[in-house]
Structure 1
Amino acid sequence: MGTVGSTEVKVMKRLVDILAKSKHKFIVSKGSKHEEFELAENMWGEASIPQLDILPLVDLVIFHGGNNTFTEAVYFGKPMIVMPLFGDQPDNAQLVVEAKIGFKLNLFTVTEKELLSAIDTLVEDKQIQQRVKSISEEIRANSNLDVVVERIEYVAQNPKFPTVFESH
């Protein structure tokens, strides 16, 4: 959940309890209040983690939707579960939903069933994985920010993606 989302200890404890029931393993950025809660056996975490080193190694990203993690997850081709709080986060969550590269869930009301089902879907759904991988490949091939934004918007507006993009 990154540094912002992890400051709410009660919410983090609840998420840890839910994720502890998953068959998957998790890497957690515990944030500034890292000493106030423990992780389950299927988790490893620290106050801060080297996100750019870890993102290429994970199957999906669960976060609050901030621009940095959003762009890094897209760059590395990772499906996402976004639990937005404020600012740019709801917009990024909506892009994830529209591009069909993940899910938007409510951090405060998400149920165990919803979260665990979303995780399993993203780990198992080859179409979602291919879609986000295709976006990642397009982004990596283009260093022009305007082109990158155009491609993400294209995917969000075209549900039959992946398709071949026209050359500019």
Structure 2
Amino acid sequence: MIVMPLIGDQYDNAQRVADLGFGVRMSPYRFDSVALIDAIEKLLADDGLKQRLAEARDGIRRAPGGQVGGTLVSDLAASSAGSSEAS
């Protein structure tokens, strides 16, 4: 992944991507075609990148985030409905 942050938390997220070895952070304002080609070649030559990305993918798939989020939304909707009936 080549990340070119522009605003807000994108700078921190781009640095995290680079620090974790998932990609390369580049300045969207100070790069040229040579730097971009170098970044692409670096990523293509990184033998561990595919494995790191697969591990991250598998962790995301195993996480119950969708179920937990759905339950929280349902609970909030139910409590909001109950509080509006009480008023």
| 2:40 is the alignment partner of 1:119 | yes
Distance 2:5 2:27 in 1: 7
Work out whether residues 101 and 128 of structure 1, in 8 Å CA contact, stay in contact via their aligned partners in 2: yes
Detail structure 1 runs of 4+ shifted over 3 Å in the superposition: none
Letter of the 1:99 counterpart? L
Letter of the 1:104 counterpart? R
Structure with greater strand share of residues = 1
| 2:61 is the alignment partner of 1:136 | no
Structure 1 length-normalised TM: 0.37
Distance 2:42 2:64 in 1: 31
Q: CA RMSD in A?
A: 1.6
Unaligned runs of 5+ in 2: 67-87
* Identical positions, percent: 36
Unaligned runs of 5+ in 1: 1-79, 146-168
Structure 2 length-normalised TM: 0.67
Q: CA deviation at 1:111?
A: 2.3
Letter of the 2:12 counterpart? D
In structure 2, the partner of 1:96 is 17
Work out whether residues 82 and 105 of structure 1, in 8 Å CA contact, stay in contact via their aligned partners in 2: yes
In structure 2, the partner of 1:110 is 31
Q: CA deviation at 1:94?
A: 1.2
In structure 1, the partner of 2:85 is none
Task: Give 1 or 2 for the bigger CA radius of gyration.
Answer: 2
Structure with greater helix share of residues = 2
Work out whether residues 96 and 102 of structure 1, in 8 Å CA contact, stay in contact via their aligned partners in 2: yes
Per-residue CA deviation, residues 84-119 of structure 1 (Å, 9 max, x unaligned), is 011121111011011111010011111222110111
Q: CA deviation at 1:138?
A: 0.9
Q: Which has the higher contact order (CA 8 A, sep 6+)?
A: 2
In structure 1, the partner of 2:2 is 81
Work out whether residues 122 and 129 of structure 1, in 8 Å CA contact, stay in contact via their aligned partners in 2: no
